[in-house]
Amino acid sequence: MLVNAVNTAPLVAVLAIVIDAAVYIGETEIAAPPEAALRTLWIEEDDTARPPPPEAALRPLWVEGDVPTRPDPVVILPTDIENDPNLELRDDVDALAAIADKYTFWQGNGANWPKKAAWGSFTQLWNANLPIIRKSCGWNNWGADNSATEISNLQKAINQVAGEAKIEPRFILSIVMQESGGCVRVPTTNNGVRNPGLMQSHNGAGTCAGRNPCPNAQILQMIRDGTSGTKAGDGIKQCLAKTSKVVTNAPHRAVVAAARLYNSGSVDYNNLNNPFTATKCYSCDVANRLTGWTLAARKCS
């Protein structure tokens, strides 16, 4: 019996090598999302067996009758109110600061935190955050990444609402990035209070969770809810109005104190990193975002 020789084609092995958080398959590089861009949110659903939500997802703003065991909002007044009329009289909103993607662990009452002259312009900060805005939905498994139209509408909405509410667009952008990374499809969280949308507002009407595409009207509503507030609770406009009455002639301190109030419903003016029951370094994060922080390691303890 004759045995015919069979020419067999060699098997090609595909070697996947993981180097510095990037996966290489053959000659194709697939970049892993930066850890700083990932933010796990507590998605609203009916599941009483869930573990406690991660700290980054907590932003309890309380309304009467929510949970009887919750403490009332707390305001700890500053012991060193600065009323020097020459302290900070000018907002350099058009100045080009030397922003950088770095994180500084600011502590205390905000006196030595970055003043407005050190903040980036809105254009600088928008461009610095644009790579995250483009990819934050996919990185966090919240659905399709923002489209070019949705991104354009988000930028327009921030500027429009800033004009309507007389609030810094830079402050609005920093809260958007802190709460959702700019993903229009960010889920709704619920830790006793429903927090939907780009700014995780206080029971607002605007949301595009699970919706693609996200209509411009919803994007605008999400920014209005978080900035100008809702029937259920304050937006950053109301928070800033309150803190500006306590910290006068130091606008940068009023802004970071307002961020603390928005996040936790309470504020310790002597220690802006006092989380009460919310996110410890929320105010510190916002201060860093205003000076260009995007993906650098978060140094907060």
**pLDDT tens for each residue of 61-88:** 332 233 333 346 776 767 654 444 334 4
Strand partners, 268: 76
pLDDT band at 300 (very low <50, low <70, confident <90, very high): confident
Of 80-84, 109-113, 161-165, 179-183, which gets the smallest average pLDDT? Answer: 80-84
pLDDT band at 285 (very low <50, low <70, confident <90, very high): very high
List of residues 6+ apart from 42 with CB closer than 8 A:
50, 53, 54, 57, 189, 190, 191
d(CA 242, CA 249): 14
Q: How much is the pLDDT for 38?
A: 60
Q: Where are the domains of the chain?
A: 73-88+98-289
Q: How much is the pLDDT for 122?
A: 97
pLDDT for 148 beyond 90: yes
Q: What integer is the mean pLDDT of 208-215? A: 98
Q: What integer is the mean pLDDT of 20-45? A: 45
* pTM as predicted: 0.75
Q: How much is the pLDDT for 96?
A: 64
Long-range contacts of 93-99 (CB under 8 A, 24+ apart): 93/121, 93/122, 93/168, 93/170, 94/121, 95/121, 96/120, 96/121, 96/124, 97/121, 97/124, 97/291, 97/292, 99/124, 99/125, 99/128, 99/291, 99/292
Q: How much is the pLDDT for 139?
A: 97
Average pLDDT of the chain is: 79
Q: How much is the pLDDT for 73?
A: 73
- CATH number of this structure's domain 73-88+98-289, picked from the four choices 3.30.43, 1.10.20, 1.20.81, 1.10.530: 1.10.530
Q: What integer is the mean pLDDT of 269-297? A: 96
DSSP string, 40-108: ---B--S-TTPPPPPGGG------TTS-TTSPPP-EE--SS----TTSS----TT------S------T
pLDDT band at 301 (very low <50, low <70, confident <90, very high): confident
